[in-house]
């Protein structure tokens, strides 16, 4: 089974968490693209979606699924999104697709975070995947120095501008044993918009595509 087939299995498995008649929070990435394809098969049973990126919005609209502005929506029963790494307590690194800020905002509104991944994304300790940090452009070098002082090695993702007009620093070389603490520390650096640690709001349910089928983990 290829990695993409495992992503597809996880994406389609998330359909059963979609509440008929509701608005669905939709993340970003290749695994989520499979979820959007699946969601299109029940588009007449949902009100629509709130999207975390321009790319996902375009895909949703391409299927005729209405996309709502988050400001017009009070509640979301589920938010479905992928991850770059996830540990046993369901803390995640996200933002490989540079959509971390909108992902974190939509996830904050949702009652349940359904994480869809293939089996290469599970880790004992977060940090092998470089941790994305979205930064206001003029603060890039200041934030980089502050992150170096915390022991990380920030690398500017040159050529990438987020949907919010900001830049991304990918932080290498950190073995993240206290994800909540580091999430808070990074957020307190002036110029940081968001960091890709999803620990204060981790996943509630994890659907892992494996060669033997989809494995479900939850607290
Ligand atoms: C985008 C994300 C994605 O969820 C993460 O990068 C996983 O992507 P993929 O499903 O393509 O492996 O956080 O910002």
Q: What is the largest CA-CA distance in the chain?
A: 52
Residue ranges at the known binding site: 28-31, 81-84, 94-97, 121
Instruction: Give the pairing of strands 48-51 and 23-26.
Output: parallel
Q: Which atom of ligand 1 is nearest to the CA of 95?
A: 14
Place of tokens 């993702």: 157
What gap in Å lies between CA 175 and CA 193, rounded to an integer? 22
Q: Do residues 27 and 81 lie in contact, with contact meaning Cβ atoms separated by under 8 Å?
A: yes
Identify whether 103 is a catalytic site residue.
yes
- The H-assigned helical ranges of the chain are 3-13, 30-40, 54-62, 100-109, 140-149, 179-187
Residue ranges around ligand 1 (CB below 6 Å): 27-31, 81-84, 94-100, 103
Annotated binding-site residues for substrate read: 28-31, 81-84, 94-97, 121
Cβ-Cβ contacts under 8 Å for 159 (sequence gap 6 or more):
none
- Compute the distance between CA of residue 132 and CA of residue 172 in angstroms, rounded to an integer: 9
For residue 117, the ligand 1 atom closest to its alpha carbon is: 10
Per-residue pLDDT tens digits of the chain, which is 219 residues long: 999 999 999 999 999 999 999 999 999 999 999 999 999 999 999 999 999 999 999 999 999 999 999 999 999 999 999 999 999 999 999 999 999 999 999 999 999 999 999 999 999 999 999 999 999 999 999 999 999 999 999 999 999 999 999 999 999 999 999 999 999 999 999 999 999 999 999 999 999 999 999 999 998
């Amino acid at each position: 089974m290829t990695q993409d087939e495992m992503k597809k299995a996880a994406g389609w498995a998330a359909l059963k968490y979609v509440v008929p008649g509701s608005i669905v929070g939709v993340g970003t990435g290749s695994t989520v693209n499979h979820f959007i394809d699946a969601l299109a098969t029940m588009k007449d049973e949902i009100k629509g979606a709130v999207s975390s990126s321009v790319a996902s919005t375009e895909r949703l609209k391409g299927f005729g699924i209405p996309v709502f502005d988050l400001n017009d929506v009070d509640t979301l029963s589920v938010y479905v999104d992928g991850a770059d790494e996830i540990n046993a307590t369901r803390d995640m690194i996200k933002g490989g697709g540079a959509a971390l800020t909108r992902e974190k905002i939509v996830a904050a509104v949702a009652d349940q975070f359904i994480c869809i991944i293939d089996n290469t994304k599970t880790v004992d300790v977060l940090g092998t995947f470089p941790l994305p940090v979205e930064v206001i452009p003029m603060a890039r070098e200041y934030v980089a120095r502050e992150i170096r002082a915390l022991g990380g090695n920030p690398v500017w993702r040159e050529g990438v501008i987020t949907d919010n007009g900001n830049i991304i620093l990918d932080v290498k070389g950190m073995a993240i044993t206290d994800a909540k603490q580091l999430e808070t520390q990074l957020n307190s650096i002036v110029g940081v918009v968001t960091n890709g640690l999803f620990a204060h709001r981790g996943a509630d349910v994890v659907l892992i595509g494996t060669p033997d089928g989809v494995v479900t983990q939850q607290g």
